[in-house]
Amino acid sequence: MTGKEGTGILVCAGEPSGDLHGAPVVAALRSRFPALPLEGCGGPRMAAAGLRIHTAIDRLSTMGFVEAAGAVPRHWLLLRRLVAAAREGRYRLALLIDYPGFHLRLGQALRRAGIPVLYYIAPQLWAWRPGRIDRLRRAADRLAAILPFEAEWFRSRGVDCRFVGHPLLDHTRPGRESARRTLQLTPENRVLGIFPGSRDREIERNWPLFREVAHRMMAEGRCTSAIVAGTAGGYYPDPGNVRVFRGAPEMVLAAATAALVKSGTSTLEAALAGTPMVVGYRSSWSTYLIARQLMTVDRISLVNLVAERDVVPEFWRLPVAAGALAASLQPLLDPSSEAHCAQLAGLALVRRRLGAPGAAERVAELTGELIG
């Protein structure tokens, strides 16, 4: 049986960010193809959008090279189950969202079973392990990229790739005035936003460093308030006079004069909010040493990669020192400084390069093209 003879669409995400970006795609697919069953792997947002979940993302999500090893058995069992369902005629098409460690294997197996595969959110092969491009060609019929430089990079290497714009452009963000009212801050406050990550392991590694920087900034009078964008269950020991505001990171970004941000998608969130930032990340030594062997870029901030120049300072080469982070943050906490104004101009460039709103609809359109 071929994929076009199947009955539904498999949608698969493996971590919270995939659930966030996958939910509007599921909603767009539900609107475009109301008669087709949608099922797969995801989280609460994708379920609320109309996906029938048979494997929750909290059973899959891992981080780091060493930590991921323990998740291999459950990934292997899931892969076998999904491929068996494909061979039974359950799917007309598979939409795989990010999570390349698992989805490159799954995509290859599904295509061997006759299922067309659309891969959404390109694996960052341009950053490390470009040799996996052959695996990607075998794993996907088409790639939907969310970063502007990716389309040409992948197409030049034989992958059918379309730039669909970044899904963050569709998010609603609070204004500075309303965010400060919510956080009980005055317009005159100089506010440092702290973003140590969303996963427990990230918070565990970054929080002590970011906390030290915040305490130093307040002790030196560089800012009047420091606020952590906390997760619902995150642990932030010994915060002192640093406030923890849980569940609404966009509110902290909007209110902040400047921010200390863990590398990753949060840096693009800050760019879209127009909040100057310093990027920092403290990994385990094992993850860092492996990453240094595999990386093919000298920047890790998505802001700098999209801009193709150094817009924001970034610190990730171990050991990461609190003093260096603080020194880079100091001028950004002064809205009249040259550094603050220059970074705002760079962030505006990044926003323009990220495309136009409507990424989910474009992914649904590409799905329709592959289904026929």
Helix (H, G, I), strand (E, B) or coil at 269: helix
Calculate what percentage of the chain has a pLDDT beyond 90.
78
User: For tokens 């999209």, what's the residue?
Assistant: 306
The helix (run of H) or strand (run of E) holding residue 343 is helix 338-353
Task: Tell me which of 65 and 138 has the higher pLDDT.
Answer: 138
Cα maximum dimension of the chain: 69
pLDDT value of position 300 = 84
- Are 40 and 50 within 8 A, CB to CB? no
User: Is 209 found in the same domain as 150?
Assistant: no
User: Is 313 found in the same domain as 239?
Assistant: yes
A 10 A CB-CB count for 262 gives: 24
pLDDT value of position 63 = 42
Q: Give the pLDDT confidence of 70-124 residue by residue, as tens digits.
A: 567 788 899 999 999 999 999 999 999 999 989 999 999 999 999 999 999 999 8
Would you place residue 129 in the very low, low, confident or very high pLDDT band (cuts 50, 70, 90)? confident
Q: Give the pLDDT confidence of 172-229 residue by residue, as tens digits.
A: 999 999 999 999 999 999 999 999 998 888 899 999 999 999 999 999 999 999 999 9
pLDDT value of position 4 = 52
d(CA 279, CA 346): 15
* 198 occurs within a structural domain: yes
pTM of the model: 0.88
User: Is 98 found in the same domain as 155?
Assistant: yes
A 10 A CB-CB count for 309 gives: 10
301 phi and psi angles, rounded to 5 deg: -75, 130
Q: Which residues make Cβ contacts (< 8 Å) with residue 72, sequence separation at least 6?
A: none
Q: Give, to the nearest 10 degrees, the angle between helix 338-353 and helix 322-332.
A: 90
Q: Give the pLDDT confidence of 286-304 residue by residue, as tens digits.
A: 776 776 766 777 788 999 9
Can you give the CATH number for the domain in which 279 is found? Answer: 3.40.50.2000
User: Is 205 found in the same domain as 320?
Assistant: yes
* 52 occurs within a structural domain: yes
User: Is 158 found in the same domain as 199?
Assistant: no
User: Is 70 found in the same domain as 196?
Assistant: no
* 67 occurs within a structural domain: yes
A 10 A CB-CB count for 370 gives: 17
* 28 occurs within a structural domain: yes
* 304 occurs within a structural domain: yes
pLDDT value of position 201 = 87
- Provide Rg for the chain, Cα atoms: 21
State the number of CA atoms in the 13 A half-sphere of 44 facing the CB.
0
User: Is 152 found in the same domain as 35?
Assistant: yes
Would you place residue 281 in the very low, low, confident or very high pLDDT band (cuts 50, 70, 90)? confident
User: Is 360 found in the same domain as 322?
Assistant: no
Residue 64 has pLDDT above 50, yes or no: no
Least confident span in 65-69, 127-131, 278-282, 312-316: 65-69
Residue closest to 130 by CA, chosen among 263, 298, 299, 295 = 295
Number of domains in the chain: 2
Q: Which residues make Cβ contacts (< 8 Å) with residue 184, sequence separation at least 6?
A: none
- pLDDT averaged over every residue in the chain: 91
Q: Give the pLDDT confidence of 28-39 residue by residue, as tens digits.
A: 999 999 999 999
d(CA 192, CA 308): 26
* 171 occurs within a structural domain: no
Report which residue type is found at 155: R
* 18 occurs within a structural domain: yes
Structural domain of 30: 3-166+356-371
User: Is 39 found in the same domain as 186?
Assistant: no
User: Is 274 found in the same domain as 237?
Assistant: yes
Mean pLDDT calculated for residue range 154-179 = 96
* 21 occurs within a structural domain: yes
pLDDT value of position 65 = 37
pLDDT value of position 66 = 38
Q: Give the pLDDT confidence of 300-324 residue by residue, as tens digits.
A: 899 999 999 999 999 987 788 999 9
Q: Give, to the nearest 10 degrees, the angle between helix 200-219 and helix 322-332.
A: 60
Q: Which residues make Cβ contacts (< 8 Å) with residue 368, sequence separation at least 6?
A: 32, 33
d(CA 281, CA 77): 33
d(CA 128, CA 105): 18
pLDDT value of position 296 = 72
User: Is 297 found in the same domain as 200?
Assistant: yes
User: Is 110 found in the same domain as 79?
Assistant: yes
pLDDT value of position 195 = 97
d(CA 186, CA 255): 10
